[in-house]
Structure 1
C-alpha cells in the first residue's frame, strides 16, 4: 500500500509538471513572447516526459521479470533496488519476500517429498503401482525384493506367482481389503491386498499394498490348535483317570476270583482286562498329546544343510522303518539354516518314516530327499516317495492334530512337524503338483549369504 501511494504521488507529480510545462509553452507560443522561456518550457516538458516514460517502463520491466521468474520457477532472481527512489526499494523488498516464501515452501515441499519417498521405500509391505493399462512399477524396496526377479514391467509378468494372484491384482480396487493366494517358493500362501487410486499426469494409477499373511494365519491357527488340545487333554484326563483306576481295580478283584466252572466270571475277567488295557492306551495317547500343547523352546544354531541331511538319512536307514533307500539330491553351496537341529531332525525322521510306510507296498519303492536354495532367503527341502500320495482334499487336514489316514496312526507326526516348522518361521505343505511330496521352506541363518 505504501509503495502504491508513493508511486501514485510521483506519477501524478510528473504528470502535473508535464501539464504545467506544456501549458506555459503553449501560452508563450500563443502570445509570441519570450521565445527563450518557451524553449525552456518545452525542454522541461520533454525531460518530464522522458522521466515519466522511464518510471513506467522500469516498473513494467521489473514486474515482467518477476512474473517470468515465477513462470519459470526461477527462484535465484534478485530484486534489490536500494537507492533507486520512486518506491523501487520497497517494490524490490516485496518481490524478495515473495521469492523467499516460495523458496521456503519449495524447500519444505522437497523435504516432505523426500520424507514421503523414503517412508514408502522403507515400508515393509510391498507396494505395486499399476497403470496406465497393464503397466507395473515396483514401488519400494520390499516390492523389489519380493517381485524383482526378471524386472517385471507389466502385471502379466507376475504369472510366476500364480494366475490367481495376477487376477487378484487386475481386479484390485479401492474399498475393503481383498484376500487371495500367491505362490511363493513353490508354496501356496494367503495374501491380502489394499488399493489406493491416484491421478498422475492425467492418468489414474493404482497403488496396491501386498501383504503375505500366511505366517500370521498359521501362527493363529497353531495357537488355536494348542489351546484346543490343552482343553481337550485336560477334560479327557479328568474323566479318564477314574475310569482307568476303576478298571484296574475291577480287573484285580476279578483276577482274585476262581473262574472254574463259572464262565460268566471268565468273560467278565476278559472284558474288564480289555477295558483296563484300552483305558491305559487312551491315557498314554492323551499324555502324549499333552506334550503337543506345550510349544518347545528352540535352541537355534547355524545348520550345515548337506551334512545335516546326510546324517539324518543315514540315521533313518538304520531304523526298522526303512523300507527303501533314500536318494539325496542336495544343491551345492547351500547357505546354513537357522534352527534347532534336534527338533528339525525329528521332523525329518517323521517324514522319512511316513514315506517308508507309504512305499512299503509299492512296486518300485523309492524315497528322494532334495534341498535347494530359494529366493527370499529360504531353503526348500522336500521328501518325495513313489507311494500313492495324499488325496488333494486332505492336503491341509493331514497337518491337523488327531487327524490320520493310517489304521493305527495317532495323528501326531505331521501336526508335530508343522508346529516345529512354524516355530522356525517356515512352512510345510503337501506338494501342489506331487501329492506324494512333503515340502518344507526354512529360513537361512542371519549371517549366511542369501541365494541369488
Structure 2
C-alpha cells in the first residue's frame, strides 16, 4: 500500500507538472509539482533501500552461518511483515537442520570414540590419525602421526596397514608388549576434501584364539581320558586278577607258568602306570577356579626363587632382576607360583648339562598396565618351529616328560587374562605378560 500510494502520487505529480509545463501556466504550481515528484521519488528509493538492506542482511547472515539474526519487520507495512516472516521461517528451518546435524555428528563421534576396537584413519599419503579412545590407548604412547611410526608393533603390522584395502577381513601379526599376536583388520574407504582416506579397524584376537584353542584342547583331553579310562579299567582289573591267579601257582612246575607270571606282572604294572598318566590329564581337563588377591610382585618372585633353590638337587643360583615400584598383580598366588616353579624347573633341567649354567628371573612394567615376567637360561633353547607346540597337551621334548607342565602354565596364564610365549633362539626364554591392579 505504501509502495502503491507513492507510485500513484508520483504519477499525479509528474502529470500535473507536465500539463502546466505544456500550457506555460502557473509556474509556481509546476515547481511545486516537480518538488513533490522529487520527494516521492526519494521516498520510493528509501523504501526499496530498506527492502534491499534487509535482503542483504539475510544473505550476509547465511554467508556467515549466523542463525541468531532476527527479521521481525512489523510496523512497516504488510509487505515487510511477510518478508520478515519468510526470513524467520528460513532461519528457523536452518537452525533445526543445524541442530539435527550437530546431534547426529555428536552421536556418531561418541559412538566411534567409545567403540572398543581401535580405529585408524590412513591418508592422505602416509598420514595417520588415531580416531578413537581405543586407538589412543593402544597406539598413542608416542602420538604417531605417520604409519611408519608404528614400526615398534612390527614390520608385518606396518605392511598390513599400508596394503589395507576395502574387502574381506585380513589376518596379520602385531607385536604388543614384546609378544607376537594375531590381529584382524577391516578397511572402509571414504573421500574427504577431495582426498581418499582409509578407516582401518584393528582388533587383536590372540586372546580369543587362545581361549578357543584352550577350550578345544580341554574338550579333546576330556574325551580322550574318558575313552582311555573306559578301555583301560577292565584291562587293569583283568591283569591284576590274572596275576593273582598265576601267583597262586608254583612256577617250578612248568617253565611256561613262570614266563606267564612275568608277562602278566609287567602288564599289570604298565596298566597301572597308564592309569596314573590318564588321571594326571584328567586334572588338566578341569579348569581351576581362581582365587584372586593382590600380589606384591617383588616379594612373590623372591619367595618363589627361594622355594626353587630349596628343591633337592638344585644347586645353580637364580639371578633376580625386578623393576622397582611395580604395581601389584591381581591373581591366584598359589597357581601362579606353581606355574613359575614349573618354568624354573624346566630351566634347571635344560641347563644341567652346561658348564656354567645361568638362570635369570626378570620382571618389568609394560604399557597398558601389564607385567612381563621372563625366565631366561643358557640351555640349548627351543627350536623356532616348536615355540608354539611346547604348550600343547601331550607334547614334550624330554625323554621322560609328561607334556603337561607348559600346557598347565598356559592354561593358568590365559585364565588370568595374560599371555605366555617361548622365545626363539638363544638364550632360551619363556615369558608371560599378566594384567596388574590399576592403582
CA deviations 1:32-91 (Å, max 9, x no partner) are 344444344333332332232222222122112211110111223222221011521221
Q: In angstroms, what is the RMSD of aligned CA positions?
A: 1.8
Q: Does 1:281 align with 2:273?
A: yes
Q: Does 1:381 align with 2:373?
A: yes
Aligned-pair distance for 1:172?
1.0
CA distance in 1, matches of 2:193, 2:338: 59
CA deviations 1:117-174 (Å, max 9, x no partner) are 2332222222222111111122222222211222222111111110001001111121
Aligned-pair distance for 1:368?
1.0
CA distance in 2, matches of 1:293, 1:186: 30
Q: Name which of 327, 339, 343 aligns with 2:319.
A: 327
| Structure 1 segment 49-64 matched on structure 2, within 5 A | 49-64=41-56
CA distance in 1, matches of 2:167, 2:371: 37
Q: Name which of 242, 248, 252 aligns with 2:244.
A: 252
CA distance in 1, matches of 2:180, 2:10: 91
Counterpart of 2:151 in 1: which secondary structure?
A: helix
CA distance in 2, matches of 1:320, 1:398: 26
Matched with 1:169 is 161
User: Is contact 2:322–2:364 with CA below 8 Å preserved after alignment?
Assistant: yes
Q: Name which of 287, 294, 305 aligns with 2:297.
A: 305
Matched with 2:200 is 208
CA distance in 1, matches of 2:245, 2:233: 18
Aligned-pair distance for 1:107?
3.1
Matched with 1:6 is none
Q: Name which of 141, 161, 176 aligns with 2:133.
A: 141
CA deviations 1:12-36 (Å, max 9, x no partner) are 5544443343233222322234444
TM value normalised by structure 2: 0.95
CA distance in 2, matches of 1:347, 1:381: 11
Q: Name which of 23, 29, 35 aligns with 1:43.
A: 35
Aligned-pair distance for 1:175?
1.5
Q: Name which of 394, 407, 410 aligns with 1:418.
A: 410
Matched with 2:309 is 317
User: Is contact 1:10–1:86 with CA below 8 Å preserved after alignment?
Assistant: no
CA distance in 1, matches of 2:157, 2:410: 25
CA distance in 2, matches of 1:434, 1:302: 34
Q: Does 1:363 align with 2:359?
A: no
| Structure 1 segment 21-420 matched on structure 2, within 5 A | 21-320=13-312, 322-420=314-412
Aligned pairs, number: 439
TM value normalised by structure 1: 0.93
Runs of 5+ consecutive residues of structure 1 not aligned to the other structure: 1-8
CA distance in 1, matches of 2:322, 2:257: 63
Counterpart of 1:87 in 2: which secondary structure?
A: helix
CA distance in 1, matches of 2:427, 2:319: 19
Aligned-pair distance for 1:178?
1.2
User: Is contact 1:158–1:166 with CA below 8 Å preserved after alignment?
Assistant: yes
